[in-house]
């Protein structure tokens, strides 16, 4: 099998989330794998999504690829994770719609069952540092990987990739919040989708003012959590002439800066001891380009 490309690895960061309460499905959304580094040898793997995706549920199900050596095997199995409030690590700021569901126990159980899992975990190595945000241009091309309206490639267990551009400058706080807007089709089910600045054939490094011809750049910049709607009135002609309201998407989305995951990182460090899975056991992948 040919070595996975960067684009292929990016698609393996993301999974569809099905949310359940008392055994009944109550919603769906998108999540992605993220590795919180405890030390040079230890990480805590988790699935990141929005708080509202798992609000009110007690379990989530994700379908995971099994591993064949260091590659995906082409087969996959459903995995069930505890999503009760005590099991979830929610961002401490109530206005930041992010949370983490620890994934290590599932990995350990799958390994013990003889069906090790394969996934690509993002990390802070591709999250812009505080000083880096100022160097993004007012317009950047971005991709978003997720499951709009729950749609994904069930045959291959792969999410949907969408391309667009930033609608507000990444270098500025949109509305004074740790957010930005993207210009792309953002539908329910896309909540929790990671957004990347992904330049495949060259980019301008504004920090050095040099253009890197033919080089690639990958930066994990945000997580989609909502999108503005246009409300329009429609009428159904019946005896009482009822009034209905129809909402339509505006081809815009609101995203939380990826650097806000540091708020969850503090909770991970507080909850988990130094005894954690080794990074080589849980599929940590470097995105060095």
The pLDDT tens digits of the residues spanning 112-167 come to 998 999 989 999 999 999 999 999 999 999 999 999 888 899 999 999 999 999 99
Tell which residue, 201, 203, 207, 197, has the closest CA to residue 170: 197
Burial class (CB in 10 A: 0-12, 13-18, 19+), 33: buried
Cα–Cα distance between 125 and 259 in angstroms, integer?
Answer: 11
pTM of the full structure: 0.86
Tokens 């390994």, residue located: 111
- For residue 17, pLDDT over 60 is answered with yes
Q: How confident is the model at residue 4 (pLDDT cuts 50, 70, 90)?
A: confident
Q: Are 52 and 190 in contact (CB under 8 A)?
A: no
Average pLDDT, the chain: 85
First to last CA, the chain: 21
Structure-token pair, residue 10: 């990016």
Tell which residue, 85, 70, 208, has the closest CA to residue 135: 208
Contacts 24+ apart (CB under 8 A), 214-218: 215/289, 216/6, 216/289, 217/289, 218/6, 218/10, 218/126, 218/287, 218/289
Q: What are phi and psi of 279, to 5 degrees?
A: -60, -35
Cα–Cα distance between 166 and 42 in angstroms, integer?
Answer: 35
Cα–Cα distance between 108 and 14 in angstroms, integer?
Answer: 20
Residues above pLDDT 90, as percent of the chain: 55
Q: How confident is the model at residue 229 (pLDDT cuts 50, 70, 90)?
A: low
DSSP-derived 3-state class of residue 289: coil
Structure-token pair, residue 144: 């978003």
Return the bridge partners of 117, or none.
66
pLDDT 10s digits, 160-214: 999 999 999 999 999 999 999 999 888 878 899 999 999 888 887 888 888 888 7
Cα–Cα distance between 201 and 236 in angstroms, integer?
Answer: 52
pLDDT computed for residue 232 by the predictor: 57
DSSP-derived 3-state class of residue 96: coil
Structure-token pair, residue 9: 């690895």
Residues 241-250 have a mean pLDDT of 51
Q: Which of 37-46, 59-68, 255-264 has the lowest mean pLDDT?
A: 37-46
Return the bridge partners of 36, or none.
44
pLDDT computed for residue 208 by the predictor: 85
Please, how many CA atoms are within 13 Å of residue 202, restricted to the half-sphere of its CB? 5
pLDDT 10s digits, 84-103: 888 999 999 999 999 999 99
pLDDT 10s digits, 280-289: 334 443 444 4
Contacts of 70 (CB under 8 A, 6+ apart): none
Q: Are 11 and 145 in contact (CB under 8 A)?
A: yes
pLDDT computed for residue 41 by the predictor: 77
pLDDT computed for residue 185 by the predictor: 82
């Amino acid at each position: 099998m040919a070595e996975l490309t960067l684009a292929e690895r990016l698609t393996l960061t993301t999974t569809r989330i099905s949310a359940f309460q008392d055994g009944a499905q109550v919603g769906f959304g998108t999540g992605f794998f993220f590795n919180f580094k405890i030390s040079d040898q230890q990480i805590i793997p988790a699935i990141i999504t929005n708080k509202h995706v798992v609000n009110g549920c007690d379990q989530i199900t994700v379908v995971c690829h099994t591993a064949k050596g260091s590659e995906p095997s082409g087969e996959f199995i459903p995995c069930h994770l505890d999503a009760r409030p005590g099991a979830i690590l929610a961002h401490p700021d109530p206005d930041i719609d992010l949370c983490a569901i620890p994934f290590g126990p599932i990995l350990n159980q799958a390994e013990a069952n003889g069906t090790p899992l394969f996934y690509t975990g993002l990390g802070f190595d591709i999250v812009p540092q505080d000083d880096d945000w100022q160097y993004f241009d007012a317009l950047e091309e971005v991709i978003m990987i997720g499951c709009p309206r729950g749609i994904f490639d069930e045959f291959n267990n792969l999410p949907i990739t969408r391309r667009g551009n930033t609608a507000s400058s990444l270098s500025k706080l949109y509305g004074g919040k740790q957010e930005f807007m993207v210009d792309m089709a953002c539908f329910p089910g896309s909540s929790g989708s990671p957004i990347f600045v992904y330049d495949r054939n060259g980019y301008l490094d504004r920090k050095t003012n040099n253009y890197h011809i033919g080089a690639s750049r990958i930066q994990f910049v945000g997580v989609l959590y909502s999108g503005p709607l246009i409300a329009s009135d429609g009428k159904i002609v019946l005896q009482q002439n009822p009034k209905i309201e129809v909402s339509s998407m505006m081809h815009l989305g609101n995203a939380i800066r990826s650097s806000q995951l540091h708020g969850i990182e503090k909770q991970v460090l507080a909850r988990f001891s130094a005894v954690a899975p080794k990074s080589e056991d849980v599929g940590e992948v470097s995105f060095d380009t």
